[in-house]
A and B are shown apart, each in its own frame.
Chain A
Amino acid sequence: MDTVEHDVQSVPSVKYTARDFQSDQDVRWCPGCGDYAILAQVQRVLPELGIPKEKYVIVSGIGCSSRFPYYMSTYGVHGIHGRATAIATGVKLANPDLSVWVATGDGDGLSIGGNHLVHICRRNVDVNILLFNNEIYGLTKGQYSPTSRYGQITRSSPMGNIDHPFNPVLLALGAEATFVARTMDRDQKHLHDVLKRAAEHKGTSFVEIYQNCVVFNDGAFAIFTDKETKDENVVYLEHGKPLIFGKERDKGIRLENHRPVVVSLKDGKYGPDDLLHYDEKDPGLAYTVALMSNYPGMPRPVGVFVDVQRNVYEQDLLNQIKSAKQKYGEPTLEALFNAGDTWEIK
């Protein structure tokens, strides 16, 4: 098939800085909210992408994270609860030349908007989705969310949450998203690099960002972000490299019977070569590794789970339009109206 290659045009006439992406609105998140760090990184990454500023559109739903577009000086739509990915799909299909981003949360994206999220992933529309996961409903003041932990005490679960939580990475993998990553608000460098890779990926990019809610769920991710505990509890995924973690870099992940297990690198039994080497092109492996979150005693995997290529939705749409035009020629209303059986009355 004759294809139209479509890339968001990347020839900026000016060099931008983060400041160019700050809007004149006062940022109204709670002091200490993890959203500030994410905003700062997005404002740092966008100038690095070489895309003219007017081509960015940031779409959100409802929730704390969804105030995001107002704090960016780009085009933006603050939508309705859960529908950001559907709105973003419309924006991107109408004008594939735009760089479209979605800011959503665990409630907005996984509860009320869960349906739209899985469908944008399977269609592979070239949109970058940032899911701010704080494992709580913030804007409505502290009810459990679809990622809240089993047993968690919240305002709407005083005896403990009896919902099994979503693992957002697993959900995106299940929907066959072509780029799936997890990063954290307090790991600025990692956050920066993942955002940049998400932007550069063609097709839907899904990024789960652990984000601390200081008011309703403070410290939910502390063991993954605090200096004293993070090395023992986080394993970074890097394409082609073995999964090693620990303060002393003395532990690794091996696959045994298709299941990840932690092994020691200290007793001489295993070396780095015996460990699982990560492969971003293998969604099956990504699923297996993402399941580590469910097993006690395993470090939390963070990084790019998959980065694969598949037909991009709006690309296919443009191709259909192009081939229809080649087949039928430049269409006229005259031809449209007069198609089929007609008759004349004099």
Chain B
Amino acid sequence: MGKSVKDLEDVTIRFAGDSGDGMQLAGTQFTTATAMVGNDLSTFPDYPAEIRAPAGTTYGVSGFQIRFGATDILTPGDLCDVLVAMNPAALKVNLKLLRPGGIIIANVDGFTEKNLKLAGYTSNPLEDGSLRQYEVYPINITKLTEATLEDLKLSPKVVDRTKNFFALGLMFWMFSRPMEPTIEWITKRFAKEPALVEANLRVLRAGYHYGDSTEIFTSRYRVKPAPLPPGKYRNISGNEAVALGLIAAAHRAHLQLFLGSYPITPASDILHELSRYRAYDVKTFQAEDEIAGITSAIGASFAGALAATTTSGPGLSLKLEALGLAVMTELPLIVIDVQRGGPSTGLPTKTEQGDLLQAMYGRHGEAPLPVLAARSPADCFDTVFEGARIALKYMTPVIVLTDGYLGNGSEPWRIPNPNDLPDLTPSFSTDPSTFKPYLRDEKTLARPWALPGTPGLEHRIGGLEKKHIDGTISYDPDNHDLMVRLREEKIERIVNDIPPQTVDGDEEGELLVVGWGSTYGAIRSAVHRKRSEGKSVSHLHIRYLNPFPRNLGEILYRFKHILVVEINRGQLLKLLRAKYLVPALGYHRVAGLPIPSVNIEQRIDEILRGER
């Protein structure tokens, strides 16, 4: 059957269904196949806090969005081109995310009276003409799946669970993706249950062939490979990248890795991932609570491990007192905060940038420490590695901020050559004739690291203020003032050891859009579009939030207007205004979702028009 093939620059697909419909699985399989084709891509899993919310309800809808293209893909897309809706609730929740004229693949069999009612529809949208502005393909996915498996005599429950592969197969056909990676995955996953291998493969192929043979689709699409820099790639989520970054840092430092962690959404995957790597001298310790997570890590650091703790906002709050101890004892420690919607339990599975000020100032006493933020899933690797470098070199706790969107989202990662990663090997004190616990390195002001087990270097550290150089307890007022200043200066000196701030676009001009963390892709897209319209707009994205790069102020002063875009109520905005006394403006949307780049474009236009 001759069907036309159309070339597209980039496409955004959203798979949506009940929490138990296997939409996350369909999405990740589609992602793998897309990566193999060589497209650039960005994914955004969007799922509810409930594990299995009641079927058919709007709050039980689980979505997975992937954008892929023949060009540089910076975000998972504001609006999608194709919406796969397994039931009415999935349609209801996601329709506003579909662009006008977009494609809807609807599982007609899911649009039962009961499900329509649960989703709050009074009439069937597939029939009442309300979807006129979209290209709607109502397909009997459930019935076709059942027919495909009829002779296998499987339980209805098992049959129902395979229908996501029908939708996936259809999408593979529609966008000319290879099925091999998924076939391989199914074969491996169900190796012990041949009947399930057979069932899932059949349904996957049935979906693919349905697209090919049915009359309703007149064309399919092709998205050519993206011109990514040469190299070997794999798809990676932010949480995976954090785990690999920690292992890489430990290996390059020739230290064992210790992770003290308590499960918390959306950071738990880092604990899961690291617990698989015992062979890499990774000691994961699932602690009894967040506090034991960080304090065990402090103990491990004292004993000579590269120590880390992973958490999200509420967990960071519980760790703050212990962070004071880490600052006081000047031990290396990496704290990773995968931010989520807050305060309190807030929106635990959604994303936010609400913890910046907590990371900067959430401590008792004067307790400065370095704060870094990753800007994309793959960048989590580099940011964590850099955090470890700073922690080891400056003997300090470091906070690395990522967020739920980065942690769960994924993109292609150009696999680095391990030998190109800097060597992080610390030097431990061994000489009793010169050792003093707080005798600082002249350049970095770091104190020496002397490991228990080293003869002659027995010393005590702790939360009480210590005498400069000596390290004995000191209540002397001048000594405390000196130590407060030394701890501060140590962190400030890191500025000499980090790259200068760069700008995407002109180095001066009308408007500078400033961001940090996961807003990177959205801001970059928005700024590129405005620049292509000839507007004087540049983008500055900050990785080093404390200390700020030395040249940050000069750059800010060269622009007439500054716009700070954040998924919070203006936390970086406050820091920049306070430090540089610039009249910066903000754009904030705290919706638990990435900020759409179109919103940023609108705000840019407003400011350029002279509106505030």
A residues apposed to B, CB below 8 Å: 23-25, 52-57, 59-60, 62, 69-70, 72-80, 83, 86-95, 97-98, 115-116, 119, 317, 320-321, 324-325, 327-329, 331-334, 336-338, 340-346
Q: Are B300 and A80 interface neighbours, CB within 8 A?
A: no
B334 within 8 A of A: no
Which chain B residues border A320 with CB–CB below 8 Å? 278
A-side contacts of B454, CB under 8 Å: 54
Q: Are B280 and A91 in contact, CB atoms less than 8 angstroms apart?
A: no
Give chain A nearest CB distance to B410 CB in angstroms: 12
How would you classify the secondary structure of chain A's contact residues: helix, strand, loop or mixed?
Answer: mixed
For the complex, is B35 an interface residue (Cβ under 8 Å from A)? yes
The answer to whether B296 and A54 have CB atoms under 8 Å apart is no
In the assembled complex, how far is the CB of residue B298 from the closest CB belonging to chain A, in whole angstroms?
6
Q: Write the nearest CB–CB distance from B367 to chain A, whole angstroms.
A: 13
Least Cβ–Cβ distance between A326 and chain B, in angstroms: 9
Determine the distance from Cα of A341 to Cα of B260 in the docked complex, in whole angstroms. 29
Chain B residue, CB-CB nearest to A83: B295
**A98 engages B303 (CB within 8 Å):** yes
Q: Which of A87, A336, A346 contacts B298 (CB 8 A)?
A: A87
List of B residues within 8 angstroms of A346 by Cβ: 230
Are A93 and B296 touching (Cβ within 8 A)? yes
Closest to B289 in A: A115
Contact B296 A338 (CB under 8 A): no
Contact among B231, B251, B280, B461 with A345 in the assembled complex (CB-CB below 8 Å): B231
Task: Given A79-B325, A333-B251, A337-B416, check contact A90 B300 (CB 8 Å).
Answer: yes
Shortest distance in angstroms between A72's beta carbon and chain B's nearest beta carbon?
A: 8
Inter-chain contact B462/A69, CB cutoff 8 Å = yes
Q: Which residues of B contact A23 (CB under 8 A)?
A: 460
Return chain A residues, CB-CB under 8 Å to B277: 324, 331, 336
CB distance from B133 to the nearest CB of A (A): 38
Is B366 an interface residue when CB atoms closer than 8 A count as contact? no
Give the nearest-CB partner of B450 in chain A.
A75
Looking at the complex, which of B156-164, B232-240, B336-344, B517-525 is the stretch in contact with chain A?
A: B232-240
Set of chain A residues within 8 Å of B421, measured between Cβ atoms: 333
- The 7 A-B residue pairs whose C-beta atoms are closest, nearest first, are A78-B462, A90-B299, A90-B296, A333-B418, A94-B303, A94-B300, A324-B278
The answer to whether B102 has its CB under 8 Å from any CB of chain A is no
Residues of B bordering A, CB below 8 Å: 32, 35-36, 38, 181, 225, 228-235, 244, 247-248, 251, 256, 258, 260, 277-281, 283, 285, 287-289, 291-292, 295-305, 307, 321-322, 324-325, 329, 415-416, 418, 421, 451-464, 472-473
> Distance (Å) between the CB of A111 and the closest chain B CB?
14
Once the chains bind, are B463 and A344 in contact (CB under 8 Å)? Answer: no
Beta-carbon nearest neighbor of A344 in chain B: B232
Distance to closest chain B CB from A219 (angstroms)? 30
CA of A49 to CA of B20, assembled, Å? 59
In the complex the two chains form, what is the Cα distance from A87 to B225 in whole Å?
Answer: 51
Q: Which residues of A contact B307 (CB under 8 A)?
A: 90, 94
Residue of A92, A98, A336, A342 touching B244 (CB-CB under 8 A): A336
Contacts of A317 in B (CB 8 A): 283
A340–B36 Cα distance when bound, in Å, is 12
Cβ of B32: which chain A residues have Cβ within 8 Å of it? 341
Decide if A59 touches B299 in the complex (CB within 8 Å): yes
Docked-complex contact B296 and A76, CB < 8 angstroms: no
**Taking A89-B299, A90-B295 as contacts, is the C-beta distance between A321 and B452 under 8 angstroms?**
no
9 A–B contacts from the bound complex (CB under 8 Å): A54-B452, A75-B452, A77-B299, A90-B285, A91-B452, A119-B288, A328-B279, A337-B234, A338-B234
- Flag if B298 contacts A90 (CB, 8 Å): yes
Q: How far, in angstroms, from A57 to B292 measured CA to CA in the complex?
A: 18
* In the complex, chain B residues whose CB is within 8 Å of the CB of A341: 32, 35-36, 181, 234-235
Interchain CB contact under 8 A, B297 and A90:
yes
**A86→B299 contact, CB < 8 A:** yes
Chain B residues, CB < 8 A from A56: 452
Bound CA–CA A326/B302 (angstroms) = 29
Q: Are A343 and B38 in contact, CB atoms less than 8 angstroms apart?
A: yes
Contact call B452/A87, Cβ cutoff below 8 A: no
For the complex, what is the distance from the CA of A202 to the CA of B179, rounded to whole Å?
55
Q: Write the nearest CB–CB distance from B325 to chain A, whole angstroms.
A: 5
Q: What residue of chain A has the Cβ atom nearest to residue B233's Cβ?
A: A343
Report B-chain residues with C-beta under 8 Å of the C-beta of A25: 472-473
Residues of A contacting B289 in the complex (Cβ-Cβ under 8 angstroms): 115
Distance to closest chain A CB from B268 (angstroms)? 19
Q: Which residue of B lies closest to A85 (CB)?
A: B292
Complex contact A94–B36 (CB within 8 A): no
Residues of B contacting A88 in the complex (Cβ-Cβ under 8 angstroms) = 299
List of B residues within 8 angstroms of A54 by Cβ: 452-458
Q: Given A80-B295, A336-B247, A345-B230, decide whether A116 and B256 contact each other with a Cβ distance below 8 A.
A: no
Q: Which residues of A contact B303 (CB under 8 A)?
A: 57, 90-92, 94-95, 98
Cβ contact within 8 Å between A75 and B458: yes
* Contact flag A337-B418 (CB < 8 Å), given A76-B460, A89-B296: yes
Which residues on the B side are within 8 Å of A78 (C-beta)? 460-464
* A343 B232 Cβ-Cβ under 8 A: yes
